[in-house]
A and B are shown apart, each in its own frame.
Chain A
């Protein structure tokens, strides 16, 4: 099966700082990637996506970077806020189904 790994299981950042969450994927044929945010007691919430023909995509306070050479994906959150505290995980799709990482728990320190 696919292997979608996360570099760190937990991450603590000071409010106002930038956060970077990393993800490694194993299938070079994956052509679509999504970052999700999951708060306690809720389902995953779509944050941002990127296709394999792109290296970078920006949203509101978030940026996703894709490095296909080393099969690495990162999510950058600018000016992290307490409401950003959640579990973040990446997902890759080869065109057939999604494979998800186990998640990184982000804690924002006020």
Chain B
């Protein structure tokens, strides 16, 4: 069974630009969560989607948004990039009935210059 996949794996953007990251969950998983990982802050929750609906949202500004498609694939978008947005963005998926067991993808390394 294929794991969680994320594209692209690496991305370099300049301040002010916007970026879209993609996540394909494990087949059968309907819940997708996004996290930002930085050395200083660790893993911080961005948002969670289930059946195309955002169920939970972390404490990030409105520049961070996401969506989920009918096939459970998810995208997150960051607009007006800032230097502080440089981080590893991780996506995690889980089963409907075992929502706590999250399986992570390899992440997208975003560098903002």
Task: For chain B, give the interface size range.
Answer: 20 to 34
**Number of A residues with CB within 8 Å of any CB on chain B:** 22
**A44 in complex: contacting residue of B43, B45, B100, CB < 8 Å:** B43
B103 (CB) vs chain A CBs: closest residue? A46
Contact between chains at A98 and B106 (CB < 8 Å): no
Contacts of B104 in A (CB 8 A): 36, 43-46
Contact between chains at A96 and B42 (CB < 8 Å): no
Contact between chains at B43 and A43 (CB < 8 Å): no
**A97 in complex: contacting residue of B40, B48, B101, CB < 8 Å:** B48
**A103 in complex: contacting residue of B42, B102, B107, CB < 8 Å:** B42
Contacts of A43 in B (CB 8 A): 4, 90, 92, 104-107
Contacts of A99 in B (CB 8 A): 45
Give the complex CA separation of A89 and B80 in angstroms. 31
Contact between chains at B90 and A1 (CB < 8 Å): no
- Minimum CB–CB distance for B93 against chain A, Å: 11
**Residues of A at under 8 Å CB distance from B?**
1, 32, 34, 36, 41-46, 49, 89, 91, 93, 96-103
**Residues of B at under 8 Å CB distance from A?**
4, 33, 35, 40-45, 48, 56, 58-59, 90, 92, 100-107
